[in-house]
Structure 1
Amino acid sequence: MRKKDYFVIGVMSGTSLDGIDLAYLHFSAENNYNFKILEAQTIDYSEEWRENLNSGISLNQEELKDLDKKYTRYLADVILQFIAEYKIENLDAICSHGHTIKHEPQNGYTLQIGNLPEIADYLQSNVVCDFRVQDVALGGQGAPLVPIGDQLLFGEYQYCLNLGGFANISEERNKQMLAYDICAVNTVLNYFTKKLGKAYDDKGQIASGGGLHEKLLQQLNNLDYYAKKPPKSLGIEWVKAEVLPLIDSEEIPIPDILHTYTIHVAQQVAKVLDNNVGSKILVTGGGAFNDFLIQQFREYSNCEFIIPDSKIIDFKEALIFGLLGVLKLEGKVNVLSSVTGAKKDHSSGKVFAFEAI
């Protein structure tokens, strides 16, 4: 008999290094998948951990193994603190994305640390994790994985747009889900805001006070990635190789960089929309709080940009990775080949079962 109710914790760490998102979730799976976010919290990274994760891309194999072990232990401790704080019991599973260190699907490789088998013993719970590797092995991009959740949980919207380290979007077209990364967002905006001594540009206030640099805007819009057709995805490697050197090639005041880059994001998003008045877009991720960015979306598109309640904004990815874990436990498809370009739809992720002695 199919289980009707699942209680899980969804765990997500994004490339913008804002912190670890944790959501205690109830899924009712009787007909469709209905959900409730029962508790949710973001644990900020310390400067030491931000630096460790940010520099992970340059580590050798032995150093990466060591970082993976330490991060798995650290991640488990964060999850245990969350469980203790909210007195959570009787979990079906903890469903964790881990943290992406390297993402090179064109080379058949992706690495998310924090997914070692011992995490189940640390947590004394079943763990579903490491969702991307199988898709890359099947010839896919390993990303984005969120669209199946968009389809099952948020199907009333024409588009679901997430604004985190990268902007990614999903839509149903010709009865198939299509999704991909559009461009970098907070990985770039936060990089330059930190040069001003701030973690991020609150509500886009610094950007709104800057001026437009026409040449930079044109150069950004001409990046080769934007001419590629989906399926396609981005990683921090692309930002460091293509975007940051381009911006740094000229001496531009940081408020002007932020202003110009925000308009660049708005233009790239508008390019992939139908821009019809009746089209509704669910906007989530940290960028949904950037008032200047949302204002620019409305300047360049006729679509209706809908900002949901803060729990959905902040924890949608943790919510959907919780759903991916539930689908894996049920043996159901949780990754769509129409989205990632893999050879077939599949049920991805590793299940580490905890057996009490």
Structure 2
Amino acid sequence: MSNASAPSSAGTPARHYIGLMSGTSMDGVDGVLATFAPQPEVLAHVHLPFPAPLRDALFALQSPGDNEIDREALAAQALVVVYADCCTALLQETALQAADIVAIGVHGQTIRHRPERGYTRQLNDPSRLAELTGIDVVADFRSRDLAAGGQGAPLVPAFHADVFGAPGQTRVICNIGGISNLSILRGKDEVHGFDCGPGNALLDAWAERTLGRPYDEGGRLAAAGTVDETLLKQLLDEPFFSASPPKSTGRDLFNTAWLDGKLQAWRDAGIGDAVDKAEHAADIQATLTALTARTIAEEIAIHAPGCDAVYVCGGGAHNETLMRALRTALREKAPSVAHVVSTQALGMDVEHVEALAFAWLAARFGQRAPGNLPAVTGARGLRVLGALYPR
């Protein structure tokens, strides 16, 4: 744990920023238009789904393939069009003009995350976004932390500490996107955070394979199944889960090839061909749901067993079956945790949190104030994150 203070938004002028986030779920882009004075106020939120050809291109770029440079460049151009459309919709919703916006903070779409090899790759074309919107763009937030010896992720704990930290309380903010991650906040000044493992990534992949839909709405497929403990044991047999922080991960590890390898091991353990039968699809989804819930609960049990509450954000907060599984896992692993609710209980919509974090990081960049936390990422020190692409 670190006693270093998280960056604070105190003194940030009440000016307008846009934050854009497209995460590892790769379902689309969330955008917010917000002010910081000093606490954030979201004036508008827009979600735009990715067109099917772009989504397919992004998934294809998650693993090595032919002609990657050309495919990456074309996908970045298409991605930025969606970003620009999101900005336009936010301006229309608030009746503001481009000139009213200080900057757009945009994370980009992660297509590789290999901190152990010293790099991370977020697909983006911020110069084109500045050209399309007529607004300053701040992007490339991870690189400086990596250059300073950090993982480059997760970056949101500093933001979580600023807006959710409370004196005298230990709060856990659990973001369940494609990957799940935790921010452990002891007040505002002691902050710890790391990735836990797969959030929705494997759940969505299995839903698409078996239901032909991009996700299991409300966790209905999982609710119809039964957790298979043999399969769950195979899934949990992954060194990442027992690794100590700082740690971060992505689809480089938790992807369909990883899942298929685990399913094959399950077959070899005696399930035979049943894994391929439709009646077992719900059991597999239930077990993948248990994997997400259990890995989160085990990390909370190790690092914040006496926390006052767990607040969930991201798409996983809408999955009722997953939320029930998380509460059940916490009763087993960390029984003193009494409250597991969404960030709505703290006054922030679960869909706003990550996009707002990148608006906040853009504001931090404008102040030339640090946006990382060395205790979270493992960097050698506090760093100003991002690069400016002027309008």
* TM beyond 0.5: yes
- TM-score for the superposition, normalised by structure 2: 0.84
Structure 1: distance between partners of 2:156 and 2:229: 34
Aligned to 1:17: 26
2:262 aligned partner: 246
Q: Are the aligned partners of 1:17 and 1:50 in contact in 2 as well (CA < 8 Å)?
A: yes
Q: CA deviation at 1:83?
A: 2.4
Q: Which amino acid aligns with 2:182?
A: I
Partner in structure 2 of residue 100 of structure 1: 110
Asked if 1 retains the 8 angstrom alpha-carbon contact of 2:151 and 2:248, the reply is yes
Contact persistence 1:25–1:35 (CA under 8 A) = yes
Aligned counterpart, 2:299:
272
> 1:208-228 CA deviation, whole Å, 9 max, x = no partner?
110121111111122111111
User: Distance in 2 between the 1:93 and 1:325 partners?
Assistant: 7
Runs of 4+ in 1 over 6 A off after TM superposition: none
Between the two proteins, the alignment pairs up a number of residues equal to 349
Partner of 1:338: 375
One-letter amino acid of the structure 1 residue matched with residue 80 of structure 2: T
Change in Cα spacing, 1:198 to 1:61, as seen in structure 2 (3 Å) is: closer
> Quick one: which amino acid aligns to residue 314 of structure 1?
E
Q: Secondary structure at the match of 1:298?
A: helix
CA contact (8 A) 1:68 1:113 kept: yes
For 1:311 and 1:176, locate their aligned partners in 2 and report how far apart those are by CA, in whole Å. 22
Residue number among 332, 343, 354 corresponding to 1:308 in the alignment? 343
Classify 1:276/1:230 alpha carbon distance in 2 versus 1 (closer, same or farther; 3 Å). Answer: closer
Aligned to 2:311: 282
Q: 1:117 matched to which residue of 2?
A: 127
Q: Which amino acid aligns with 2:92?
A: A
Q: 1:168 aligns with which of 181, 203, 220?
A: 181
Moved more, 185-194 or 259-268: 259-268
Structure 2 residue identity aligned to 1:104: R
Does residue 1:298 correspond to 2:327, yes or no? yes
Asked if the contact 1:170/1:178 (under 8 Å) is kept, the reply is yes
Displacement after TM superposition at 1:248 (Å): 4.9
Structure-2 change in CA distance of 1:340 and 1:243 (3 Å): farther
Letter aligned with residue 375 of structure 2: S
SS at 1:238 equivalent: coil
Worse overlay, 139-148 or 198-207: 198-207
Give the conservation status (yes or no) of the 8 Å contact 1:176–1:338.
no
Partner of 2:233: 218
Partners of 1:148 and 1:334 within 8 A in 2: yes
Q: CA deviation at 1:178?
A: 1.4
1:182 aligns with: 196
Residues 1:244 and 1:324: Cα distance change in structure 2 (over 3 Å): farther
Give, as a single letter, the amino acid of the residue that structure 2 aligns with 1:143. A
Matched letter for residue 107 of structure 1: R
CA shift, 1:162, in A, is: 0.4
Number of the residue aligned with 1:64: 72
Read off the aligned partner of 1:291 and give its amino acid letter.
E
Residues 1:105 and 1:276: Cα distance change in structure 2 (over 3 Å)? closer
State yes or no: 1:26 paired with 2:35.
yes
Aligned amino acid, residue 243 of structure 1: L
Q: CA deviation at 1:66?
A: 3.3
Whole-angstrom distance in 2 between the partners of 1:62 and 1:134: 26
Determine whether 1:79 maps to 2:87.
Answer: yes
1:261 alignment partner in structure 2: 288
CA distance in 1, matches of 2:129, 2:42: 23
Q: For 1:345, what is the secondary structure of its paired residue?
A: coil
Q: 1:264 to 1:70 in 2, by over 3 A?
A: closer
* 8 Å CA contact retained: 1:115, 1:130: no
Aligned counterparts of 1:193 and 1:259: Cα–Cα separation in 2 = 11
CA shift for structure 1 position 164:
0.6
Cα distance between partner residues in 1 of 2:282 and 2:386: 42
- Which residue is equivalent to 2:206? 192
Kindly indicate whether residue 163 of structure 2 is the aligned counterpart of residue 158 of structure 1.
Answer: no
Hey, what does 1:130 align to over in structure 2?
140
Quick check: 41-50 or 115-124, which moved more?
115-124
Question: Which residue does 2:385 correspond to in 1?
Answer: 348
- 1:278: Cα distance to partner? 5.9
SS of the residue aligned with 2:15?
A: strand
The answer as to 2:158 corresponding to 1:148 is yes
Q: 1:321: how far off?
A: 0.8
Using a 3 Å threshold, how does the CA distance of structure 1 residues 213 and 330 change in structure 2: closer, same or farther?
Answer: same
1:118/1:48 CA distance change after superposition, 3 Å: closer
Taking the aligned partners of 1:36 and 1:70, their CA distance within structure 2 comes to 30
Superposition deviation, residue 130 in structure 1:
1.4
Instruction: Tell me whether 1:329 sits opposite 2:358 in the alignment.
Output: no
Give how far 1:82 is off.
3.4
Contact kept? 1:144, 1:233, Cα under 8 Å: yes
Q: Secondary structure at the match of 1:239?
A: coil
- After superposing the two structures, state which structure 1 stretch, 171-180 or 83-92, moved more: 171-180
- RMSD of aligned residue pairs (Cα, Å): 2.0
